[in-house]
Chain A
Amino acid sequence: MKVEQFSLDQLRTLLAGSGLRVKAGPFNLSIQTCLPSLTDQLYRMYSHYSLVDETEIAEFHVRIIPKHSIRRPFVRLIQFQVDGRAPFPPVPVEQALATLEWGINLVIAMRVNHLLLFHSAAVERNGHVLLLPAWPGSGKTTLCTALIHRGYRLFSDEFGLMDPQSGEFFPLPRLMPLKNQSIGVIRDYLPEAVLGPEIPGTLKGTVAHVRPPQESIERADETAKPRWIVFPKWSAGAALRLESLPQSEAFLLLATNAFNYEVLGETAFDAVTSLVRNCECRKLVYSDFDSALAALDELTDG
C-alpha cells in the first residue's frame, strides 16, 4: 500500500496516532505529527512511498511536535524529536518539513554503521551507480535533480550507502532540498519537477524540496554496483571540464568525505580501496546543465 491510497483524513489520523510507517530505501521510518500544515505537505510529497508491513520494525521513530516558548510567546514553534530526544532547537512551524527531512538525514548519518556512508549524491544509469561526492554548496543536489529528470534513477542526493563487504550501493530516494537560487534554476530548467513549498528563513536560507520520481521510489530495493565517481563543482561562467582524477586523490577525497570512515576503520579502508580501484574517477566543473548532462551521458553510455 502507498501513501497516496489514503485519504487526507486517514493520513492525518495515522500521523497523529501510531505514526506513518514508510520505507525509505533499506530503512523503515515511523513519522508522527499532529500539525495540519505538515500533514498536507507529506500527503503530496510522500505520496509514492510504500507503507511498511506491520510485521516489520521501524529503525527510526521521528516526531514533529508543537513547542511553546516563553521567550517567543507569539511565534508558533515546532521541534524535531527522534526516540524522544530533540537534537535541534525549536524552529518556526513553517520550517517543519525542512526540519523533519534534515532530522531524518541526521539520524541516518549518526546511527547507521553497518554501511559505509559517503556524503554524496548517487544515481544509476545502464545498471551502474554514478557517485557524485561533494561538499555542501557544490551544487550536487541541483545536478542530481537534473539527472533524475533526464533518465537517471535516483539513489540519493545526500548519501552514498555502500555495503563494505559486497560493494553494492543501496538506493535511499528521499526528498531533495534545493536551496536559494537553485530553486528558480530548477523551476526554469525542469518545469515538470514536483517541488514542495518554498520555506524561507532556515539556517540554509530558502529551501524547497524536490519529490523523487515515482520510478526511483518503486525501485528502491534494486541495489547496484558503482562504476563512475565524479566530483562535481558548479562554477559561474566556467567552461565544461570533465577530467580524469588520480585514484590516490579520489581515495583521499572519498575517505575524508565519508560520515563514518573512522568508525568502520579497516573495513572502510578496504571498501574505499576497492571502490576506487573499480571505478572511473573524474572531476567535473560546469556552469550549465546541458553541457554537464551531455558529458555525463557520454561517460555513462559505455
Chain B
Amino acid sequence: MAKEEKANITEELTSAQLQADCASCPVHHAANLKKLGVDMENFDFVVALAGNPNTGKSTVFNALTGLRQHTGNWPGKTVTRAEGGFEYADKRFKLVDLPGTYSLLATSLDEEIARDFILFGQPDVTIVVVDASRLERNLNLVLQVMEITNRVVICLNLMDEVDRHNMEVDHRRLARDLGVPVVPTVARYNEGLEELLEAIHEVAIGQVEANTYHVNYRHPQLDRAVSQLMEQIQEVFPQVPNARWVALRLLDGDERIIQAVEDGELGSLTYAQTVPEDVSVNQVSQKSGFAQ
C-alpha cells in the first residue's frame, strides 16, 4: 500500500482503481472471512489457540471456523485438540483449539498436549486467549507461551466482563509491554474478531515482527548457566527458534525436552519461512495497538 495511492483518492479514481484499493484494505478481508469448517485441505498457515480454561477459546474457535465445538461456561471442557479451518485474505488457515491450561510446565495431560503442540507442532501463529478481567493470572501462561514462540497474538477476550466490573484494561500499553499484538474482543458477541483476524494474518505473513518480552529471572547464576547452555544448543541445533527456553527446561530436568535432545527431534524444529515475496516488514499495526 503506497502512501501516495491513498493520498490520491479523489473523484478521478476509476472504479477499477477503487476496487483494487479496496481489496488491499483489511476491512475488505474481514468481510470476506470464509469459514471452512472441517475443510482443512491445502492450508497455508497453522494457528494454535491457547489460553487459560474458560476464557472463551472454543467460542473464538467456533466464530472463526463456523464449527460448533461445544462451549460451556465451565473450565476444562475442551480436553482434546479440535481442528478447523478458515480462509482470510486469500490465505487458508488451519486453526487448532488446544485444551485450556494455566501453565505449560506439562504436569498434566492437557498441559502436555498444549505445550507439545506449540513446541513441536510449530504453529505459524499462536493465539493466547486471555480473560481480560483476570489479566494478572492469565499473563502467566502468556509469558510462558512467549518463551517458546515469538509468533504470538493476544486475544484480550471477555472485555464485557471488564466493563461490567468497571475496570479498564489498556490494551495498547499491554501490547507495548509484551511486544506482541493485543486485540480486545468479546468473542461471544463477535466483537473484535475482524481485528483479531487481521493481527493473525499480519503475524502469519511476517508483516509484524514481534519483539517479545522475556521473563527476567533476576538470578545471575541462572542467567550465566542459561547462556552457557544456550550457546551449546545453538551450536548443535542452529535452527532452534527458542534456545533459551530449551536451556531452561533442560536445567529444570524436563523429561520430554531431554528426550527431544537425546533423539535429535529438536533439530527438526525450525520455523518454516512462510513470508511471501514483496511484503515489507511493518513494525506498527495501529489496529491491534501494537507499536514499536
Whether chain B is bound by chain A comes out as no
Interface residues in chain B, defined as those with a beta carbon under 8 Å from any beta carbon in chain A: none
